[in-house]
Amino acid sequence: MFEPGRQGRKQAKAQSKAAAAGGGIKLSWTPTNGGDADEPDGATARRIVQLIRENKDKQFFMGCGFHKPHLPWVAPRKYFDMYSLDQIKLPNTPPDDRDDIPPLALTFTQGDQEMTDEQRRMAILAYHAATSFMDAQLGLVLDTLDEYKLWDDTVVLLFGDHGWHLYDHLQLWRKMTVFEQAARAPLMVWAPGCKQNVACPRLVEFVDIYPTLTELCGLPAAPGVEGTSFAPLLKDANRPWKKAAYTMVARGRERFGRSVRTDHWRYTEWEDGKSGVEFYDHDKDPNEWTNVAWPQRERTPRQTADIEEMKRLLHADKKLNVPPKA
């Protein structure tokens, strides 16, 4: 689990090949003795800083992609030292959590089940360390906007491509599920003239990012593009918005899990409901520990009606999933 620098990097390449061949990447981490600039993400941040300086007096678009906290969790040792293993707690998941989950909803990677609790806590610590390292690299880029006073005419959009399981739902790690932990992703936006430091409770999707950026940059909307600009939410975070966000995950080439999330509920069907259905009430069960749609579970008439409403929403025409007119 805990590899010295060179050996850890060699192992990471082998794991990437195994993942490409259909296997899972082993949970591994490496605190290095180098500096931030010695890591690929550190080099990326410094290159972006250089490009901003070279183009600060021009119009520019830059895409900056950071690898961490993707596996393996490699970062300078100081980021590991930011956290104490004694402070890392494992999720307090009910022991019967998996009893009402369809088997296709779960993932499995060889070796995860053999970890000790100490190794699991160390893995969570390493994830935090890698995330903090990435955050510091992003900070270099944002500091450059400070340096050249570019905030008044620059849009910054930060997002992650998925969430991450950290031993929740009893032994779940990584992504590739439609549980909240994996399907929900970070999204932060800065745009001139918009409200600052405001959390938005509304639902948006990845398909909404492109039309949002074109609107914020004053560009014409591209024809045929899916998604809805969420620029109005940057000025009024609580305004009425679209009802749902949709997520899909594959289990091989033929089997899929399709999920819909509203402000209150998540509903998922596996293979069009033939292999299981899930319904979680996020008002009462934010951890998604109780599958209300489990066949053996007693339900109130109201719960049955809510499940049917979510089923209808999942199969509805997605083009109708738009905000109400102001």
Q: Tell me the C-alpha to C-alpha distance, in Å, between residue 224 and each of 210, 274, 318.
A: 12, 33, 14
Q: Which CATH number fits domain 1-190: 1.20.1730.10, 3.75.10.10, 3.40.50.261, 3.40.720.10?
A: 3.40.720.10
Alpha-carbon torsion (132, 133, 136, 142), positive or negative = negative
Fold match flag (1-190 vs 244-326): no
Closest CA to 307 of 271, 273, 256, 274: 273
Give me the tens of pLDDT residue by residue for the chain, a chain 326 residues long: 333 344 444 444 544 444 433 346 789 999 999 999 999 999 999 999 999 999 999 999 999 999 999 999 999 999 999 999 999 999 999 999 999 999 999 998 888 888 999 999 999 999 999 999 999 999 999 999 999 999 999 999 999 999 999 999 999 999 999 999 999 999 999 999 998 899 999 999 999 999 999 999 999 988 888 899 999 999 999 999 999 999 999 999 889 999 999 999 999 999 999 999 999 999 999 999 999 999 999 999 999 999 999 999 999 999 999 999 87
CATH code for the structural domain at 244-326: 3.30.1120
Confidence at residue 8, expressed as pLDDT on a 0 to 100 scale: 40
pLDDT in tens, 120-155: 999 999 999 999 999 999 999 999 999 999 999 999
pLDDT in tens, 67-101: 999 999 999 999 999 999 999 999 999 999 999 99
Confidence at residue 24, expressed as pLDDT on a 0 to 100 scale: 66
Domain boundaries, given as residue ranges, for the chain: 1-190, 244-326
Confidence at residue 113, expressed as pLDDT on a 0 to 100 scale: 84
- Residues 266 and 289: their CA atoms lie apart, in Å, by 12
Write a three-state SS string for the chain.
CECCHHHHHHHHHHHHHHHHCCCCCCCCEEEECCCHHHCHHHHHHHHHHHHHHHHCCCCCCCCCCCCCCCCCEEEEHHHHCCCCHHHCCCCCCCCCHHHHCCHHHCCCCCCHHHCCHHHHHHHHHHHHHHHHHHHHHHHHHHHHHHHCCCHHHCCEEEECCCCCEEEECCCEEECCCCCHHHHCCCEEEECCCCCCCCCCCCCCCHHHHHHHHHHHCCCCCCCCCCCCCCHHHHCCCCCCCCCCEEEEEEECCCEEEEEEECCCEEEEEECCCCCCEEEEECCCCCCCCCCCCCCCCCCCHHHHHHHHHHHHHHCCCHHHCCCCCC
Confidence at residue 12, expressed as pLDDT on a 0 to 100 scale: 45
pLDDT in tens, 207-223: 999 999 999 999 998 88
Tokens 């039309």 correspond to 211
- Residues 107 and 174: their CA atoms lie apart, in Å, by 9
